[in-house]
Amino acid sequence: MPSETPIAVTPLYPMIYEPLMRRALEEDLGRAGDLTTDTVVPPEARARARLVARGPGRIAGLPIALSAFTLLDPGLRLLSAQRDGDDVAAGTLLAVVEGAARPILTAERTALNILGRLSGIATATAAIVGALAGLGTEIVCTRKTTPGLRALEKYAVRVGGGGNHRFGLDDAVLIKDNHLVVAGGIRPAVERARAQVGHMVKIEVEVDTLAQLRELLDLRVDAVLLDNMPPETLRAAVEMVSGRMITEASGGITPESVRAVAESGVDMISLGWLTHTVKNFDVGLDFEAM
Amino acid sequence: MPSETPIAVTPLYPMIYEPLMRRALEEDLGRAGDLTTDTVVPPEARARARLVARGPGRIAGLPIALSAFTLLDPGLRLLSAQRDGDDVAAGTLLAVVEGAARPILTAERTALNILGRLSGIATATAAIVGALAGLGTEIVCTRKTTPGLRALEKYAVRVGGGGNHRFGLDDAVLIKDNHLVVAGGIRPAVERARAQVGHMVKIEVEVDTLAQLRELLDLRVDAVLLDNMPPETLRAAVEMVSGRMITEASGGITPESVRAVAESGVDMISLGWLTHTVKNFDVGLDFEAM
Amino acid sequence: MPSETPIAVTPLYPMIYEPLMRRALEEDLGRAGDLTTDTVVPPEARARARLVARGPGRIAGLPIALSAFTLLDPGLRLLSAQRDGDDVAAGTLLAVVEGAARPILTAERTALNILGRLSGIATATAAIVGALAGLGTEIVCTRKTTPGLRALEKYAVRVGGGGNHRFGLDDAVLIKDNHLVVAGGIRPAVERARAQVGHMVKIEVEVDTLAQLRELLDLRVDAVLLDNMPPETLRAAVEMVSGRMITEASGGITPESVRAVAESGVDMISLGWLTHTVKNFDVGLDFEAM
Amino acid sequence: MPSETPIAVTPLYPMIYEPLMRRALEEDLGRAGDLTTDTVVPPEARARARLVARGPGRIAGLPIALSAFTLLDPGLRLLSAQRDGDDVAAGTLLAVVEGAARPILTAERTALNILGRLSGIATATAAIVGALAGLGTEIVCTRKTTPGLRALEKYAVRVGGGGNHRFGLDDAVLIKDNHLVVAGGIRPAVERARAQVGHMVKIEVEVDTLAQLRELLDLRVDAVLLDNMPPETLRAAVEMVSGRMITEASGGITPESVRAVAESGVDMISLGWLTHTVKNFDVGLDFEAM
Amino acid sequence: MPSETPIAVTPLYPMIYEPLMRRALEEDLGRAGDLTTDTVVPPEARARARLVARGPGRIAGLPIALSAFTLLDPGLRLLSAQRDGDDVAAGTLLAVVEGAARPILTAERTALNILGRLSGIATATAAIVGALAGLGTEIVCTRKTTPGLRALEKYAVRVGGGGNHRFGLDDAVLIKDNHLVVAGGIRPAVERARAQVGHMVKIEVEVDTLAQLRELLDLRVDAVLLDNMPPETLRAAVEMVSGRMITEASGGITPESVRAVAESGVDMISLGWLTHTVKNFDVGLDFEAM
Amino acid sequence: MPSETPIAVTPLYPMIYEPLMRRALEEDLGRAGDLTTDTVVPPEARARARLVARGPGRIAGLPIALSAFTLLDPGLRLLSAQRDGDDVAAGTLLAVVEGAARPILTAERTALNILGRLSGIATATAAIVGALAGLGTEIVCTRKTTPGLRALEKYAVRVGGGGNHRFGLDDAVLIKDNHLVVAGGIRPAVERARAQVGHMVKIEVEVDTLAQLRELLDLRVDAVLLDNMPPETLRAAVEMVSGRMITEASGGITPESVRAVAESGVDMISLGWLTHTVKNFDVGLDFEAM
């Protein structure tokens, strides 16, 4: 776990995540509801459930996860013991849910599924960010997110101390190799984009070689994506750019290679696997009758 | 990769996955659409895109992924070179998309995100299934799925040769430790469930010890979940059960330990990480102008 | 009315029925709202409305019906005088709604429509259940429900003392005559199903003749649906099965014939008309100014 | 069955009913789809299904019902042998569906559920309309419809030869007894409504007594609802009105009493049970392999 | 501004406008939320925002607009200083919002967009209504509304003192010139409509000439739409009708010509531009830290 | 009308606008459909409808408008005579719709409502753009759009030759006066934003005075919004900025004052009234039987 102070990321408004959580609950309840709880647990039973981290990591999505309980039963009482962005050890109490036993048991899996996924992303991001301590290189995620969860997964990356690249195809221009295939070269592509997009839209171009980078240099774009370059080439690229645009390394970078990449001096490194290959953060629900 | 013949899993109907794919496309297009493609790529440009496996694995979700292209532009032509369930080597052509260049580039990421996720699940499942070759133990997934994607992720497990445990809280009874806390013991819990659920609903009970298992034996439930038991205990449990109900091992089982667990003779092993900790299957899109 | 103690059926969570009630209110309000109430009733008028049973029956869906009032105006005060599952006589007060007169009048029909339908189902079910008193035969409903209301109508059957057969095509296997047409016989059909469905899924097979039943006997399925058999044949079937699987009678059974069918000894009787041919339970709204 | 020529009612546009049919299919498929068909029926099996009336009646909703098949699989071929509004005898072929066996079996129940309900309404309506042959009294339905199905159920009444009263609270004014409680009498109620509603909105008032009717007479409303009056009183009311407004009888009218009520000379009779107490019209699906 | 007392129009229920406001907020928040506020404004900052009219006009939609704030953050406190229907001068305080600074700033534009539009409609309507003071002619809007906002825009017209023509194609019959093209003349068109629509549905016919009007006179419809007639012709038409049906002038009427049209004696004038050509009512948000 | 060549703006994908058009059709059809057309127009009637411009202007949204016809009846045939971006004179034929008369008449208003609104925006934008011919100043719209129509209205501005400012709160930072109130000055606000937003996000700051502008100059933001400054002050501001960032004038600019503002040398002018105060573009539907 990185020792840095967790960053206070702006929380998401409930109207952003409640529709997803509602769909998730409906997905689990189906048409017949929770057959087990509804038949086995007496209606009057009351309980206290403690969400506890089963391993070390950075918490993300705790308010989102807890909303599963109150969406199902607004009468449940929630107490958060940690906040998003907190680094916790195994065994740390994250939150307590109290009230009717049935809805606690019924919403449990929905709550843990989202908490495990978002905290998993935050934890992996924080680990990488920690691995680059002292280098000033930013770690950013990509558009390789789970369908329907982009806003939440990008939030988890922020909680992990990373940054967000584009949220979609509509908030910045990123001219990639495939665009160049049909655009007739870097210059016409950049010029066409610049002529048509709004004045608040930045432009980035992906290059595979230093030759392409040279061609790009006097087109004054905002950023360059240096794709699949070894550290030495990256170093040369950074030197060539010399601060005239933001340099971003991408492609084939692993937890093992990331520090070497960062030491090339690039401004940022984008990692698809922060969101597409997630290790679930394990959270347990300790349950006691009241 | 397992060498067994891939199983012909029933494909999902488009009405099951199209709403999700539509949401995923909308999530990427936002309000302004694909700024890059719309400005850089000439409207008359036509292209052929080849989806190619970047590594070995089992394909799942190919028709689902390809629907991203035709939902955006029904005029695009799709050709599948592989089918769900096929095992492929790195470099294998999966499908070809032909037509207007713009919608191909715009739908690319949405298509690859779902294909990578579902094929990743199928590949991991197939690997585990292959590791148990000859043992007759079934591998099943759990309800630890991504919010909104349960039907698709469970489909991917089937494509991988695994089975599906419950799809939700409503299709079977699974009495867990937390239920027992408020139910007053195994017997009353089972009896209450049996008295109230429909005749087409099966009942499974989770036990942590052989003592609990003994208590369960004469209650004639359909299955027992043997939670977090070491192989020796599992072996004793299987012997004790002696075919009177289905035995399922669960909890803390890793790819490394799974064969040892299976050799205990349990009927099935359930693995949450099949769906909660997914390694993306890497698919590339090779793009050429036509 | 049966004299047995009403069963305490687990109530549905509001998130299950509120979307339907919202749609129902929108359907009645249209774009212009309640022209009559909005123009005729002064905004400051306050009222007390009493929902009163107009005939004897079993109440089902009271909290669902009352939600129409508070969805329209959260300021209305609700008091339930009866609970779902209660048997009432004509004239029994069911609930009181107090507050602004306008929303009470506007939501009235939406509330009564669902209450009448669900209580009608519960009442009819309770009557049949009562008619079988002492026999131990269970009454269950089918998938012949109103589009969009399956969860609610099946709940009403439970409130009436009946059981639920499958909630959909996905929670159990029921091999019917039409499946057999293309499956090449009972044995291959059962074997194919068993090989592919999850371990928590039960299998039932429909048979029309004792010959078919004999074929089925050693296939060890969970239940048999004895279709359209006269009581004598049913009796023979029950004897042949001799407890090895659940026996269900179905097809052409009327309130008049149901006891004779039950006396054949079958475990359960499924009745499509419990939900497809509903006699509305009449509830009135007595309205007084406050 | 009435012998009159069926009326050519304008069919509903698919965009009106497809969302409901889609929800109904989803309700039946759940997350796991049709377990039976998907495992028992070979993917290559092709079939022909014939929808056949199991009793005499008037068909309503045939295109709506058939859309279940093509929404699931656009490749199925539909052939309608009857049209909405046709009167059929038991055994009449209604439609044929041909193509892949699986989607035919999976969509069957959804199709039959809506066809049975709508044809049931049309058949009951046609019977009442037939019972009034020669009298010129119109039969109309009310707002006592199933939540979510109002447009369809009102369509079925039209197919049955009946008329439609209000579709909602927003297309006409109907001042009822409860409105009068808070409005301070018939005159102020009518005047307030007239002053505020648009010029294309008609006004009807419910009266319980001839005294009330007299008070209403010179207020020049469009229609009067004569509530719960015996035939003699109705006759007196019709005479008193003498064509100055439309007269509608309502309340407690049964199939047995309807002709006597009509003979009072009222212009129309509204019947809540046309839609709230529906006898399902039985349709079977005869299935053969191709 | 007209000096007449504002009319107390029945307010819309939140369930009518909240889905639209929610969509509007989502449209502004996108996937990443309010980048500016979330980064620039400290989470603990509290503020008071005053909505102030920037010009004179009639307020409509204030509760609708304010719901943007509480949908985003239910903790914000709202105080309305004016009510819908109030005429205000430039500088008038309309409402105060207090609480966390962030959600106030984030919801501001959504709130002002709807308030400006609806108050703009009400203001323009009130101006026209005022211009006809003393004439008794009613001003009504048409179906030329913004897609998705019909209920709200028609409400704003009512708040402006105008009336509503049809809310949709389904609440009254309006036979226009194009219908006549395929209907074979006025008489068959009217007769066909009358024979088929419900008894609570009014019929209006559009005529272009006095000759057509003459043909219409003895068909006893409820209203006539006199299309594009100069004041003299309208006067002749009104005389010809002589109170036997409602007369409505429409087509090409401007603020300048409307009084002359009204002086022809028509009962009402319908104006498409009340809703299709809206001048936004300018409201500012004065913001201070607390 | 400006004489410049219309710009080929990328058309919107149907999946972007079809949900809105579907809602608009549903809004007009209600529950009972088009009472007039359904009763007056024979089902077999066929017609040809010609959409004709009633005045001069620039067309925007023609494919969107025409989708109303085919969403209602996929059998209708559409022929576009003009394309979005074309400048037309009064009387110009825009498109022809052929097929069944009923759906043409029923979808007419929905089609014309959106076409009139979007073409109105494009026409007003084109007029302003034309008024600045030769000056190189860009005209851009704001977030003052109709709830639910932002993507479409911003598209119409592009078709008019204008540019788009932010699409929402999430695609760029715009620090306004109200943000500064709680942020403690320009410098901390800019620094906080820069530290937290992604590298592809631009930053603009609103200033009211030249003093504020001076403070902003060395903070190296991307753009400055010069609020409510008279042309002389704008000129001084442009000189002070001297190309170091984009200059945008905003606030109180009218069609009359816009050229004087532009001559100050600002890079762009943003105009809220392009979208909040729309003059409908009048399109007629000429209808003939076939």
Q: What is the mean pLDDT of residues B263-282?
A: 97
Provide the percentage of residues in chain E whose pLDDT is more than 70: 98
Tell me whether residues D31 and A30 touch, CB distance under 8 A: yes
**Among this protein's residues, is E73 annotated catalytic?**
no
Chain D neighbours, 3+ Cβ pairs < 8 A: A, B, C, E, F
The reported pLDDT for the residue numbered C271 is: 97
Per-residue pLDDT for E5 more than 50?
no
Provide the percentage of residues in chain F whose pLDDT is more than 90: 95
Q: What is the mean pLDDT of residues C141-155?
A: 97
What are E47-67's pLDDT values in tens digits? 999 999 999 999 999 999 999
The reported pLDDT for the residue numbered B8 is: 76
Q: Of D166, D199, D204, which is closest to E246 when you measure between CB atoms?
A: D199
Q: What is the pLDDT confidence band of residue B6, given thresholds at 50, 70 and 90? A: very low
Nearest one of D93, D158, D87 to D121, comparing CA atoms: D158
Catalytic residue among B48, B50, B176, B192: B176
Q: Listing from the earlier edge strand, what are the strands of the sheet with F163-164?
A: F163-164, F138-141, F268-270, F246-250, F223-227, F203-207, F173-175
CB-CB neighbours of D259 under 10 Å? 16
Q: What is the pLDDT confidence band of residue C280, given thresholds at 50, 70 and 90? A: very high
Provide the percentage of residues in chain B whose pLDDT is more than 70: 98
Nearest one of C280, C58, C148, C281 to D276, comparing CA atoms: C280
Structure tokens at A57: 């990591």
The CA-atom distances, in angstroms, between F83 and each of C133, F79, F287 are 75, 11, 21
Distance from CA of F8 to the nearest CA of B (A): 9
Structure tokens at F112: 């014309």
CA torsion through residues C172, C176, C180, C181, sign: negative
Interface of A with E (CB under 8 A): 8, 10, 12-13, 15-16, 150-151, 154, 164, 167-168, 171
Interface of A with F (CB under 8 A): 138, 140, 163-167, 170-172, 174, 198-202, 204, 222-223, 246, 248, 267-268
Chain C residue with minimum CA distance to E151: C31
Residues in chain D, total: 290
Q: What is the pLDDT confidence band of residue F1, given thresholds at 50, 70 and 90? A: very low
The reported pLDDT for the residue numbered C213 is: 97
Residue A48, strand partner residues: A98, A288
Tell me whether residues E15 and C39 touch, CB distance under 8 A: no
- Distance, CA of A225 to CA of A177 (rounded, Å): 11
- Distance, CA of F11 to CA of F84 (rounded, Å): 8
Distance from CA of A13 to the nearest CA of B (A): 17
The CA-atom distances, in angstroms, between F138 and each of C4, F87, F262 are 80, 20, 9
Q: What is the pLDDT confidence band of residue C5, given thresholds at 50, 70 and 90? A: very low
**Among this protein's residues, is C154 annotated catalytic?**
no
Distance from CA of A239 to the nearest CA of E (A): 32
CB contact set of D246 (below 8 Å; sequence gap of 6+): D204, D222, D223, D224, D267, D268, E199
What are E156-196's pLDDT values in tens digits? 999 999 999 999 999 999 999 999 999 989 999 999 999 99
What type of residue sits at position E86? D
Chain F residue with minimum CA distance to B35: F10
Tell me whether residues F179 and E32 touch, CB distance under 8 A: no
Angle between helices E14-29 and C14-29 (to 10 degrees): 110
Q: Among the residues of chain D, which ranges form H helices?
A: 14-29, 35-40, 62-72, 101-131, 150-159, 177-183, 186-196, 210-217, 231-241, 258-262, 273-276
Query: In F, which residues are within 8 Å of E277 by CB distance?
Result: 120, 278-280
Q: What is the pLDDT confidence band of residue B73, given thresholds at 50, 70 and 90? A: very high
Residue of A199, A250, A274 for testing the chain F interface, max F β-carbons within 10 Å: A199
Per-residue pLDDT for C55 more than 70?
yes
**Mean pLDDT computed over every residue of chain A:** 95
Q: Of A200, A222, A268, which is closest to F172 when you measure between CB atoms?
A: A200
Distance from CA of F167 to the nearest CA of B (A): 7
What are A59-100's pLDDT values in tens digits? 999 999 999 999 999 999 999 999 999 999 999 999 999 999
Q: Give SS3 for E6.
A: coil
What are B16-62's pLDDT values in tens digits? 999 999 999 999 999 999 999 999 999 999 999 999 999 999 999 99
- Distance, CA of F88 to CA of F93 (rounded, Å): 9
- Distance, CA of A60 to CA of A123 (rounded, Å): 8
- Tell me the pairing of strands E138-141 and E163-164: parallel
The reported pLDDT for the residue numbered F125 is: 98
DSSP string, chain A: ---SPPP-PPPPPHHHHHHHHHHHHHHHHTTT--HHHHHHS-TT-EEEEEEEESS-EE---HHHHHHHHHHH-TT-EEEESS-TT-EE-TT-EEEEEEEEHHHHHHHHHHHHHHHHHHHHHHHHHHHHHHHTTTS-PEEEE-S---TT-HHHHHHHHHHTT-EE--SSTTSSEEE-HHHHHHHTSHHHHHHHHHHHS-TTB-EEEEESSHHHHHHHHTT--SEEEEES--HHHHHHHHHHHTTSSEEEEESS--TTTHHHHHTTT-SEEE-THHHHSPPPPPEEEEEEE-
Q: What is the pLDDT confidence band of residue B5, given thresholds at 50, 70 and 90? A: very low
What are B202-231's pLDDT values in tens digits? 999 999 999 999 999 999 999 999 999 999
Q: What are phi and psi of C131, to 5 degrees?
A: -65, -20
- The answer to whether the predicted template modeling score (pTM) of the entire model surpasses 0.90 is yes
Per-residue pLDDT for C233 more than 80?
yes
Per-residue pLDDT for B119 more than 60?
yes
Per-residue pLDDT for C4 more than 50?
no
Q: Listing from the earlier edge strand, what are the strands of the sheet with D268-270?
A: D163-164, D138-141, D268-270, D246-250, D223-227, D203-207, D173-175
Q: What is the mean pLDDT of residues E111-127?
A: 98
Structure tokens at C88: 């009432």
Tell me whether residues D169 and C33 touch, CB distance under 8 A: yes
Nearest one of F181, D247, C193 to B10, comparing CA atoms: C193
- Distance, CA of C241 to CA of C237 (rounded, Å): 6
**Among this protein's residues, is B176 annotated catalytic?**
yes
Q: Of D165, D172, D200, which is closest to E165 when you measure between CB atoms?
A: D200
Per-residue pLDDT for E8 more than 80?
no
The reported pLDDT for the residue numbered A184 is: 87
Distance from CA of D98 to the nearest CA of E (A): 36
**Mean pLDDT computed over every residue of chain F:** 95
What are B83-111's pLDDT values in tens digits? 999 999 999 999 999 999 999 999 999 99
Q: What are phi and psi of D16, to 5 degrees?
A: -80, -40
Per-residue pLDDT for C1 more than 90?
no
What are F183-208's pLDDT values in tens digits? 989 999 999 999 999 999 999 999 99
DSSP string, D124-173: HHHHHHHHTTTS-PEEEE-S---TT-HHHHHHHHHHTT-EE--SSTTSSE
Segments of chain D with pLDDT less than 70: 1-7
Q: Of E30, E38, E43, which is closest to A167 when you measure between CB atoms?
A: E30
Task: Measure the CA angle with vertex A186, ends A181 and A190; round to 5°.
Answer: 115
Per-residue pLDDT for F2 more than 80?
no
Q: What is the pLDDT confidence band of residue F8, given thresholds at 50, 70 and 90? A: confident
Per-residue pLDDT for C8 more than 90?
no
- Distance, CA of E174 to CA of F101 (rounded, Å): 16
**Among this protein's residues, is F31 annotated catalytic?**
no
Check residue C88 and report its DSSP letter. Answer: E
Tell me whether residues A33 and C12 touch, CB distance under 8 A: yes
The CA-atom distances, in angstroms, between B48 and each of A177, A178, A249, B89, B282 are 14, 11, 28, 22, 20
Distance from CA of C163 to the nearest CA of B (A): 6
- Distance, CA of A65 to CA of F52 (rounded, Å): 55
Q: Of E31, E71, E102, which is closest to A151 when you measure between CB atoms?
A: E31
Per-residue pLDDT for F162 more than 50?
yes
Looking at the annotation, which residues of A are catalytic? 109, 144, 176, 206, 227
Beta strands in chain E (DSSP E): 46-53, 57-58, 77-80, 87-88, 93-100, 138-141, 163-164, 173-175, 203-207, 223-227, 246-250, 268-270, 283-289
CA torsion through residues E60, E63, E64, E66, sign: positive
Lowest mean pLDDT among A38-42, C11-15, D5-9, F117-121: D5-9
What are C107-144's pLDDT values in tens digits? 999 999 999 999 999 999 999 999 999 999 999 999 99
